[in-house]
Structure 1
Amino acid sequence: MEAAKAEILAFCESKSKNKSKFYFNDFTKLFPEEKSRAVKKILTALIQEEKLVFWSSGSTTMYGLAGAGKQAHSEGED
C-alpha cells in the first residue's frame, strides 16, 4: 500500500508542470494488474492523509495534489 501511494504521488508530481488534476483512469493505468476498487482504496487513503484532493464538477470527478493548480489558488488552499 505504501509503495502504491508513493507511486501515485510521484506520478502526480512528474506531471504537475502540465496538469494539476487527473482522472481515475489515469491511476488505473499505473496498476493494470489491480482491480479498480483496490486503486480507489489507495486514492481514498491519500485523500484522508490530505496528500491528494478530490475535485468534482458535478459530471466529472478528478484527483489532484493538495494545494496545486488554479482551483486550489482560487479557493485559498495554498
Structure 2
Amino acid sequence: MSELLDNTEAATKAVVDWLTKKAKTKSKFYIKDFYKIFPDDKPRAIKKVVNKMVETGELEFWSSGSTTMYGLKGGGIQHSSEGES
C-alpha cells in the first residue's frame, strides 16, 4: 500500500480534491474511477478508503440496485430529488 493510503487524512484530501475538481461535469462516480487517484494501489485498499469516507459522512453512495456510485455528500441532482414522491 502506498504512503498516501497509509495516511487516511491525506488520502481523504486527495479524494475530496479530485471530486471537487470533477464536480463541474459529474457528481457520481464508479469505484473504478477512484483508481485513477491512486494508480499504484490495489483496488481493495482504495475501496476501503472510499467506504470509510462513506461511514464518516464525507461521501455518499447511490445505488440503482445493479450499479453503485459514490459522490460528495449533498452533491448532484439525485440528492435534491430524493425523498420526493
TM-score (norm 1): 0.91
Q: Identity of counterpart residues, as a percentage?
A: 51
How much does 1:2 deviate?
1.1
Runs of 4+ with deviation above 3 angstroms: none
Name whichever structure is richer in strand by fraction. 1
Unmatched segments (≥5 aa) in structure 1: none
Provide the C-alpha distance between the structure 1 equivalents of 2:70 and 2:46, rounded to a whole number of angstroms: 12
Code of the aligned partner of 1:66: K
Unmatched segments (≥5 aa) in structure 2: 1-7
Higher Rg of the two aligned structures: 2
Provide the C-alpha distance between the structure 2 equivalents of 1:28 and 1:2, rounded to a whole number of angstroms: 17
Q: Does 2:57 correspond to 1:50?
A: yes
How much does 1:30 deviate?
1.1
Match of 1:39 in 2: 46
Match of 1:8 in 2: 15
User: Structure 1 residue aligned with 2:68, among 57, 61, 65?
Assistant: 61
TM-score (norm 2): 0.84
Provide the C-alpha distance between the structure 2 equivalents of 1:40 and 1:5, rounded to a whole number of angstroms: 12
Provide the C-alpha distance between the structure 2 equivalents of 1:10 and 1:34, rounded to a whole number of angstroms: 18
Code of the aligned partner of 1:14: K
Provide the C-alpha distance between the structure 1 equivalents of 2:38 and 2:75, rounded to a whole number of angstroms: 24
Count of residues in correspondence between the two structures: 76
